[in-house]
Structure 1
Amino acid sequence: MAGGGRQLQDRVVDLILESGLPPGSPLPSEPQLMAQLGASRNSIRETLRALHTLGIVDIRHGYGTFVGEAPVTALMPGLLFRARQSARQDASTLADFIQIRRILETALIAEVPQHADEDFLAELESCVAEIRTGDVVEADRRFHQTLYRPVGNEIAVQLIDLFWTVYHRVEEEIDPPEWLREEIGREHQSIVDAIRSGDAGRAAEAMTQHFADIERRSRRFIDRQR
């Protein structure tokens, strides 16, 4: 049953691709899909629901089914579950998420200084000010979302945001960041200062130091779990 369901999902995906349907395009109706794919109505509906969960199709009740954007965030529920489950055992998966974030961000940060203008730097400074005086977590997220926007790699930005979200959801169960406000603010200000200098190496070094602190806090929690 499961294998047959995946096979039908693959056939719907192939139909979308072979028909050249861009995101937002309407899919054939259920009766048309039944005829084209030789499947029952229930099988088609189950398949479309599964593809909707993945963001491949967008079911709009009362309007029809459309081709989706397939955002990276569709991976969120499974990744978040795995990270939270690990946090209650040995937190090793959380360490893996942090490592992936570090690899992505320290690689991309070197490209940011060449794209930085005063408006961009002012936006980052605003995030740092909010970290120090307002909602630490939301400001931190906005900082990292903003930081890589000039690079122009949408998939990388989505992945960074995905792993950021997973980490911070679990961090709430580890070390609430409120008491680290000033420390986090200093680290982010160092990143902004490095970008302002135009030195890609310095920017990468500041980001590496930021993640060294994140990994230190994570290890402290993992040690408590043992």
Structure 2
Amino acid sequence: MLPRQRRRQTGPSTAEEIKGFIRDQGLGPGDPLPTEAELCEALGVSRSSVREAIRTLESLDIVTVRHGYGTYVGGLSLAPLVSGLIFRGSLNRDGTFRTLREVLQVRIALDLGVAEELVEAYRNTTNDELRALVEQMRERNRAGEFFTEQDGEFHRQLLRPLDNTLVRQLVGAFWEVHTTCVPMLRIPTSSDIEHTIEAHDHMLTALEAGDTEAYLAAVAQHYEPLQRSIEQALRDAGQQA
């Protein structure tokens, strides 16, 4: 039985109290929460308050409801951040371009920020899976097909050696915003998109060689075509205003 707390006239919301319970109990993703009735008893609130709080927390990926099983601590992912940024960018076309430009700036900063750690992790290694993903990108591009899935998998695998879960989550989150916003804007594919593909190969080659300078140059090559397209689109939008 959970200890009952006397409900104060003013104080934290039910959602905040549930978050406090998760924190105080040291619970993590996948751990079960008490039943709805137990939470009502412990927090001194109504079932409707608990249900509303659970809906709020579920939207933030703090809890997840498995119907027929119960409520559990959620994945605590950055999904709400992704959703908010995409919505922010979708409010108007010019805003989407600006959001995408800012997202790219963050992606570049993250890639550069982990450069030294990645170089040390990949120095003198061979990475056939990553090479295969680059080749799949080439093949799909030659066939006139998108290679979004292969690009995402490349970046996910590339960051696996990092001992920093948050950085990996941030990179994944901003990659998702990036790849969602680009089709919304209908930015024409750059004529030198193959340079972006080859940049993946150059990034990996530089890391395996332990060459930080070459890796930084490859990162710049990776983003340059899309950055140029965005800047041109913003100039065009300004001329039409």
Q: What is the TM-score normalised by the length of structure 2? A: 0.83
- What SS is found at the alignment partner of 1:149? coil
CA contact (8 A) 1:87 1:94 kept: no
* 2:71 match: secondary structure: strand
Residue 64 of structure 1 and its aligned partner are, at CA, apart by 0.6
Residue pair 2:203, 2:215 contacting (<8 A) in 1 also: yes
Partner of 2:17: 11
| Partner residue in 2 for 1:55 | 61
- Superposition deviation, residue 210 in structure 1: 2.2
2:109 matches 1:103: yes
Please list the CA deviations of residues 156-214 of structure 1 after superposition, one character each: whole Å capped at 9, or x if unmatched: 11111111111111111332548654222222222122112211222122212323333
Match for residue 72 of structure 2? 66
CA contact (8 A) 1:109 1:204 kept: yes
Kindly indicate which of the two structures has a greater share of residues assigned to helix: 1
Structure 2 counterpart of 1:114, from 110, 116, 120: 120
Q: Runs of 4 or more off by more than 4 Å in structure 1?
A: 117-120, 176-181
Query: Hey, what does 2:88 align to over in structure 1?
Result: 82
Q: CA deviation at 1:15?
A: 0.9
Instruction: Provide, for residues 24-55 of structure 1, a one-character-per-residue CA deviation record: whole Å limited to 9, x for no partner.
Output: 22111111111211221111101001111111
RMSD: 2.3
The reply to whether residue 219 of structure 1 matches residue 225 of structure 2 is: no
Which residue in 2 is equivalent to 1:165? 176
Are the counterparts in 2 of residues 86 and 92 from structure 1 also a CA contact under 8 Å? no
Check the 8 A contact 1:58/1:68 in 2, yes or no. Answer: yes
**Other structure's SS at 1:151 match:** coil
Gaps of 5+ in 1: none
Aligned positions, number: 223
Q: Which runs of 5+ in 2 are unaligned?
A: 1-9, 141-145
> Larger radius of gyration, structure 1 or 2?
2
Q: How high is the TM-score relative to the length of structure 1? A: 0.88
Mapped to 2, the partners of 1:83 and 1:122 lie a distance apart of: 37
- DSSP 3-state at the match of 2:114: helix
Residue identity opposite 1:99 in structure 2: Q
Q: Who is 2:4 aligned against?
A: none
**Closer, same or farther: CA 127–33 of 1 in aligned 2, 3 Å:** same
